Structure 1
């Protein structure tokens, strides 16, 4: 009886994990399941700059793949992935707050605020980080609401 219960639990749990991973991949800013265009999410916090990760040092968190520039950064990430993942699935924080849009980012344009990583669009003379900084708290509130509507 215990074996049957265990098997049934596994059979019902696997589809839930698969659905969660699929949903994250649908909403996250990824290319071939890789987030932040291959940049190391921990480096933003530990080195204070955007650093390209290496394909040889990688992990997957709920279907989203992250590259790391050094093994210790991968270790930090594995201890607490949600601390290092970019907000709003890696989409432009300003666009999420301003117009509820998923806009691509320049991974080198970022801000750490309240212990969280925010990424921004920066191309063609339009650096949205500058606009974000003019009304960060208001835009952050709107972006949080907008993102929660998208992922629910």
Structure 2
């Protein structure tokens, strides 16, 4: 009887911190990979999302970022803040509304040199109708929504 109770106590102790606040970069529940494993430099280079490789990675903000090639990895490492999605890759529209939702690397936009991810196509359609206003709202809400 003592072992299950000890295990439950141990598990609750070490997971309680995870419930206290959201991480600044969205990685999903069981991952430590930013942008769903997509090469964030590729959005700027090719104008489309490209899956990153486990062969080309960089650690930034406690997260592993993947790249399609060594050149993109080097560009990221030279200026990571330029290539990390706004709001840590959380859905930009959701942040503008005052809450967090996952950002989907397939639903994205680049505005004024920043990469923004959205939850899905429907949300992105709303985002694109008034992007500048949503960016202002999201900037005002970030990082308070992490609390």
| Kept after mapping to 2: 8 A contact 1:40/1:66 | yes
Q: Say whether residues 1:103 and 2:98 are aligned partners.
A: no
TM-score normalised by length of structure 1:
0.76
Which of residues 25, 28, 31 is equivalent to 1:28?
Answer: 25
Q: Say whether residues 1:121 and 2:119 are aligned partners.
A: yes
| Kept after mapping to 2: 8 A contact 1:38/1:67 | yes
Q: Secondary structure at the match of 2:47?
A: coil
| Kept after mapping to 2: 8 A contact 1:91/1:105 | yes
Which sections of structure 2, spanning at least 5 residues, go unmatched? 1-20
Q: Secondary structure at the match of 2:100?
A: coil
Distance 2:23 2:128 in 1: 29
Distance 1:74 1:109 in 2: 22
Q: Secondary structure at the match of 2:44?
A: helix
CA pair 91-113 structure 1, distance change in 2 beyond 3 A: same
Distance 2:48 2:122 in 1: 17
Which sections of structure 1, spanning at least 5 residues, go unmatched? 1-23
Runs ≥4 residues deviating over 3 A:
none
Task: Provide the residue aligned with 1:130 in structure 2.
Answer: 125
Distance 2:117 2:135 in 1: 12
What is the RMSD of the two structures over their aligned residues, measured on CA atoms?
Answer: 2.0
Distance 1:105 1:112 in 2: 14
Which of residues 129, 133, 147 is equivalent to 2:142?
Answer: 147
TM-score normalised by length of structure 2:
0.79
